[in-house]
Amino acid sequence: MLSNKIVFVTNLIDTIKFPFRKDKELYRSFYDMMGFYPHHIQHYKQALMHKSVSIKNEKGRPLNNERLEFLGDAILGAVVGDIVYQRFQGKREGFLTNARSKIVQRETLGKVATKVGLSKLIQTNGSFHSHNSYIEGNALEALIGAIYLDRGYDYCMLFVKKQILGHVLNLDKMVQQEANFKSKLLEWSQKNRVQLEYRLVKETHEENGTPIFLSQVILEGIECGKGKGYSKKESHQIASKETLMALRKDPKLEQQILKMKEQHAVMEIPAEAVAVTY
C-alpha cells in the first residue's frame, strides 16, 4: 500500500516537471480528478475516446476506450472488494457482495464521473447524449484501466479510496440503502405468495441507435410501476422502485393485489389472463 510520504514525494517531482509538459490543461484536469499526475498521458487520452470517435492505430485496428473499460471493470471490482472487505470486518459474503454492487453499478459510476469532472472530457461524435450514464460510467472504468497501466494497482486503490469514496460517495451511508429494488420486490412477492411478472411494454431507439426499454411490473395481473432504461435490467430496477413506492404510499394497492390473488386461487385461472389497470 502506498504511504502518504511516497505519494507526496512523487507528486512533488511531477509538479516540478509540470511546466515542461505538453497538454498542461489536460494534465491539470486529471490531477484535479485523481489527486496525482499521469505519467503516460496516452493511456488517459484513450480512456476519454468513446467508440463513436475511434481512430485507427498503426495496425489498422480501431482505437477507443473499450479495451480499457474491460480492464478497468475488473480492477474496480477487485479494488472495491478489497475496500469493503477491510471496512466491514465480520460481515458475511452476501453483505459484502451487495455493498460492492452498489458502488460498481452503472448508475453510480455515471454520477461519479459527472461529479469528478470526467464527463466534460469524454470525446464522442456529438450524437450521444450526456444523460446516458453508460457512456460516463464506462469512461470512468476506462480511466481506472488507464491508471492501472500507468501507475499500478496501488494508485487505483488511492483514486477509489480517496477521490471517490473520500469525496464523492459515502460508503457507510450507501450500504444502509436498499439499492436492489428488484430483489426487494421479489422478496415481497414471495412473502405474500403473489405472482410477479416484468412485461416489456415498448422498445425504442434514440437517434444514435441506443436502445431504450420501457418495462412494467405486473402483480397478480394488476399493472403497477413502469421503468425506462438503457437495458432491460435497468428498466426492471426503476419499475420495481416505482412499485415499491406505490405499495408504501397506498395500502389499497396491496389490498387490491391480495384480493386478486384470492380470486385467482378460487377461479383457478392464470393471473396473466386478467388485465386490470392501476
Q: Looking at the structure, do residues 78 and 113 belong to the same domain, yes or no?
A: yes
Q: Report the alpha-carbon distance of residue 179 to residue 233 in Å, rounded.
A: 13
Contact 72, 143 (CB under 8 A): yes
pLDDT < 70 regions, the chain: 126-133, 177-179, 268-278
Q: Is 244 left (phi over 0), alpha (psi -120 to 50) or beta?
A: alpha
Active-site entry in 73, 107, 150, 220: 73
State the pLDDT at residue 197: 96
| Short-list 250, 272, 121, CA closest to 195 | 272
Q: Looking at the structure, do residues 64 and 103 belong to the same domain, yes or no?
A: yes
Q: Looking at the structure, do residues 146 and 201 belong to the same domain, yes or no?
A: no
Is position 141 annotated as part of the catalytic site?
A: yes
State the pLDDT at residue 56: 78
State the pLDDT at residue 57: 76
How many CB atoms neighbour CB 187 within 10 A?
Answer: 11
State the pLDDT at residue 67: 94
Q: Report the alpha-carbon distance of residue 153 to residue 183 in Å, rounded.
A: 33
State the pLDDT at residue 213: 92
Reduce the DSSP state of residue 118 to 3 states and report it.
coil
Active-site entry in 141, 150, 234, 242: 141
Is position 187 annotated as part of the catalytic site?
A: no
User: Could you tell me which residues come within 8 angstroms of residue 118 by beta carbon, excluding any fewer than 6 positions away?
Assistant: 33, 136, 139, 140, 143
61 DSSP 8-state letter: -
State the pLDDT at residue 258: 93
**Residue ranges making up the domain that contains 205:** 181-277
Does pTM top 0.75 for this prediction? Answer: no
Q: Which residue type, as a one-letter code, is found at position 31? A: Y
State the pLDDT at residue 127: 59
Q: Looking at the structure, do residues 37 and 168 belong to the same domain, yes or no?
A: yes
**Which of the listed residues 161, 176, 191 is the one where a domain comes to its end?**
176
Q: Looking at the structure, do residues 48 and 132 belong to the same domain, yes or no?
A: yes
State the pLDDT at residue 170: 87
Strand partners, 205: 211
State the pLDDT at residue 128: 54
Domain containing residue 91: CATH number: 1.10.1520.10
Reduce the DSSP state of residue 78 to 3 states and report it.
helix
**Which of the listed residues 159, 176, 193 is the one where a domain comes to its end?**
176
